[in-house]
């Protein structure tokens, strides 16, 4: 059996011209995790770390992907936080 058949194929996502993965707008953890998994190379590690830090400090934060970026916020508290995956870094 060839090695390629034994290993699951990595999901490929389109990177937009700015460098952000193209992920559909949606609420919840799943689209944020899809965004992080689609981040290229070392940026994925940073995305995982940022997600873990936010959830450690604000465990009740709500998550969403909007405008091809993951957003975090607390309902009724105003404001939100997001990060982007920029090309060229």
| Tokens 């059996």, residue located | 1
Helices (H) and strands (E) in the chain, counts: 3, 4
Number of independent structural domains in the chain: 1
pTM: 0.77
> In which domain, by residue range, is 61 found?
22-74
In a domain, 6, yes or no: no
Report how far residue 24's alpha carbon sits from residue 60's, in angstroms, rounded to the nearest whole number: 23
Q: What is the pLDDT at residue 89?
A: 57
In a domain, 7, yes or no: no
Q: What is the mean pLDDT of the chain?
A: 83
**Bridge partner list, 82:** 71
Q: What is the pLDDT at residue 78?
A: 78
In a domain, 36, yes or no: yes
In a domain, 15, yes or no: no
Give the residue-averaged pLDDT of 52-68: 94
In a domain, 62, yes or no: yes
Bigger pLDDT: 64 vs 2: 64
């Amino acid at each position: 059996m060839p090695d390629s058949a034994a290993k699951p194929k990595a999901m490929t996502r389109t990177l937009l011209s700015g460098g952000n993965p193209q992920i559909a707008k949606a609420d919840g953890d799943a689209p944020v995790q899809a965004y992080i998994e689609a981040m290229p190379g070392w940026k994925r590690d940073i995305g995982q770390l940022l997600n873990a830090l936010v959830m450690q400090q604000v465990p009740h934060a709500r998550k969403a992907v909007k405008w091809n970026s993951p957003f975090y916020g607390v309902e009724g508290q105003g404001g939100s936080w997001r990060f982007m995956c920029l090309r060229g870094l």
